[in-house]
């Protein structure tokens, strides 16, 4: 009967209705597309997500994978509005990136309300999992606890017993300094002093000179986008050139080092869960990313690539993009982080080893983007905060 109807429609010159095509599975990159985090995230985050989708095969469960981008302008209200529209109107299945912790919190709240997937790869506050965990949410960034603990542990154990902090006067800056101080003192070190500065400060000459005069082994830069200016001005005062004092960047990306140049950033200490030259898989990813963007990927870009692939594998395994089911599957499967093992804890915290690096001098660098020298690894169980089992138990 159906065949006869089709033939009749064809004879009359009418269109034959095709089977309904499955809608695309949309992945939203909610990022800073034009501000201070555009290099560490921004358009590069879209490239990383698209690379992951392509490597997965371009579709899942018969649905084409589509990546879209939204600019938060680093404002929580804009981030929540975009997230709500994406989930309610545009059918976005998962949101990633989210630099700046208030922005991450805003989008995370919408995702929890809508029971949709969110994977935070840039926002760094530990509270994303310590207080606001949910089965649909995961945290892939080097968080504030891990950043502070890892670098303070490695440097203090390595002989840097005295510290001085330059700290942005925000909750994030206070959390970095507080956790680093606890770690330093537990390892037998001492904090000689600290100076707080207001968000948006551009002149750091006075606090840098006070830190230099303290004679501290390490000057900790407990901030975010401010670090580049601090490093630049610190180099003008010769900080880090005598082989004794050194600046320590708690939240510095390789794009910051690239913009500053090795002459300025040399001997800076920092930690990261990803460096493009850390392994063969990382180098292969970086080569493709560089071809698309003209620069090496940041740890945020690497986390986005890994998170998207892990998410798509979970969607395929459970047979849908249901956030709760996918969240459980993501927690149950191991993660390949560019040749290094990783795993997602019950609270959504992704665990992996961190590495302490020293930025090379111009004479030590052998090629473009050859910026980091490995000092030592910090195992995940030492770096990341233990799970809050009362609020975020299994």
pLDDT of residue 73: 96
Q: Are 84 and 108 in contact (CB under 8 A)?
A: no
Q: What is the pTM of this model?
A: 0.92
Selection from 214, 212, 259 nearest residue 236 by Cα: 212
Q: Which residues pair with 59 in a beta bridge?
A: 64
Are the folds of 25-142+279-352 and 145-272+353-383 the same? yes
| pLDDT, mean over the chain | 92
Collapsed DSSP state (helix, strand, coil) of residue 249:
strand
* Neighbour tally for 308: CB within 10 Å: 26
Q: At residue 253, does pLDDT exceed 80? A: yes
Q: Kindly state the average pLDDT of the residues 265-281.
A: 96
Collapsed DSSP state (helix, strand, coil) of residue 17:
coil
Tens-place pLDDT, residues 142-197: 999 999 999 999 999 999 999 999 999 988 899 999 999 999 999 999 999 999 99
Q: Kindly state the average pLDDT of the residues 86-107.
A: 96
Find all residues with CB under 8 Å of 51, minimum gap 6, and list them. 285, 288, 289, 292, 305
Confidence band for 199, pLDDT divided at 50, 70 and 90: confident
Tokens 């004479």 appear where?
363
CATH homologous superfamily of 25-142+279-352: Response regulator (3.40.50.2300)
pLDDT of residue 20: 62
Confidence band for 267, pLDDT divided at 50, 70 and 90: very high
Distance between CA atoms of residues 125 and 172, nearest Å: 7
Rounded to the nearest 10°, the torsion over CA 123, 177, 248, 281 is: -30
Tallying the residues shown for the chain, one arrives at: 394
Question: Considering the chain, what percentage of its residues have pLDDT values greater than 90?
Answer: 87
Confidence band for 391, pLDDT divided at 50, 70 and 90: confident
pLDDT of residue 10: 40
Q: Which residues pair with 336 in a beta bridge?
A: 341
Q: What are phi and psi of 312, to 5 degrees?
A: -65, -35
Q: At residue 232, does pLDDT exceed 90? A: yes
Strand runs (DSSP E) across 198-333, as ranges? 218-222, 246-249, 269-272
Distance between CA atoms of residues 230 and 203, nearest Å: 8
Distance between CA atoms of residues 168 and 342, nearest Å: 31
More confident position, 13 or 353 = 353
Tens-place pLDDT, residues 316-332: 999 999 999 999 999 99
Tens-place pLDDT, residues 49-64: 999 999 999 999 999 9
pLDDT of residue 328: 98
Find all residues with CB under 8 Å of 112, minimum gap 6, and list them. 132, 134, 136, 137
Q: Are 177 and 149 in contact (CB under 8 A)?
A: no
Question: Considering the chain, what percentage of its residues have pLDDT values greater than 70?
Answer: 95
Q: What are phi and psi of 332, to 5 degrees?
A: -85, -15
Domain limits, the chain? 25-142+279-352, 145-272+353-383
Distance between CA atoms of residues 121 and 274, nearest Å: 12
pLDDT of residue 259: 95
CATH homologous superfamily of 145-272+353-383: Response regulator (3.40.50.2300)
More confident position, 269 or 17 = 269
Tens-place pLDDT, residues 330-342: 999 999 999 899 9
Tens-place pLDDT, residues 280-322: 999 999 999 999 999 999 999 999 999 999 999 999 999 999 9
Distance between CA atoms of residues 392 and 394, nearest Å: 7
């Amino acid at each position: 009967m159906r065949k006869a109807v089709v033939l009749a429609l064809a004879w009359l010159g009418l269109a034959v209705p095709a089977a309904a095509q499955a809608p695309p599975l949309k992945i939203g990159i909610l990022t800073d597309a034009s501000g201070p985090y555009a290099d560490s995230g921004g358009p590069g985050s879209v490239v990383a997500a698209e690379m992951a989708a392509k490597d997965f095969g371009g579709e899942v469960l018969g649905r084409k994978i589509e990546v879209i981008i939204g600019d938060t302008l680093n404002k929580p209200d804009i981030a929540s509005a975009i997230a709500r529209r994406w989930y309610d109107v545009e059918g976005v299945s998962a949101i990633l990136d989210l630099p700046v912790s208030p922005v991450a919190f805003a989008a995370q709240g919408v995702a929890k309300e809508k029971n949709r997937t969110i994977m935070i790869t840039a926002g760094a506050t530990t509270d994303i999992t310590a207080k606001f965990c949910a089965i649909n949410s995961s945290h892939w960034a080097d968080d504030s606890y891990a950043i502070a603990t890892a670098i303070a542990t490695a440097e203090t154990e390595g002989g840097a017993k005295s510290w001085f902090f330059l700290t942005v006067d925000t909750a994030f800056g206070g959390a970095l300094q507080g956790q680093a101080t606890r770690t330093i003192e537990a390892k037998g070190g001492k904090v000689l002093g600290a100076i707080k500065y207001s968000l948006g400060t551009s002149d750091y000459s006075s606090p840098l000179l006070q830190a230099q005069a303290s004679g501290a082994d390490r000057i900790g830069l407990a901030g975010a986008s401010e670090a580049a200016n601090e490093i630049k001005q610190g180099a003008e005062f010769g900080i880090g050139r005598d082989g004794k004092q050194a600046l320590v960047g708690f939240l510095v990306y390789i794009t910051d080092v690239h913009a500053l140049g090795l002459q300025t950033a040399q001997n800076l200490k920092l930690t990261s869960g990803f460096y493009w030259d850390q392994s063969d898989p990382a180098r292969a990813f970086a080569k493709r990313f560089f071809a698309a963007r003209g620069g090496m990927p940041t740890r945020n870009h690497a986390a986005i690539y890994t998170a998207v692939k892990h998410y798509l594998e979970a969607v395929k395994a459970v047979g849908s993009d249901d956030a709760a089911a996918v969240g459980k599957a993501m927690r149950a499967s191991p993660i390949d982080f560019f040749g290094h093992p990783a795993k997602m804890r019950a609270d959504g915290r992704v665990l992996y080893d961190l590495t302490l690096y020293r930025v090379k001098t111009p004479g030590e660098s052998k090629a473009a983007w050859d910026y980091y020298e490995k000092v030592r690894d910090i195992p995940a169980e030492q770096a990341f905060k233990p799970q809050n089992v009362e609020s975020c138990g299994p």
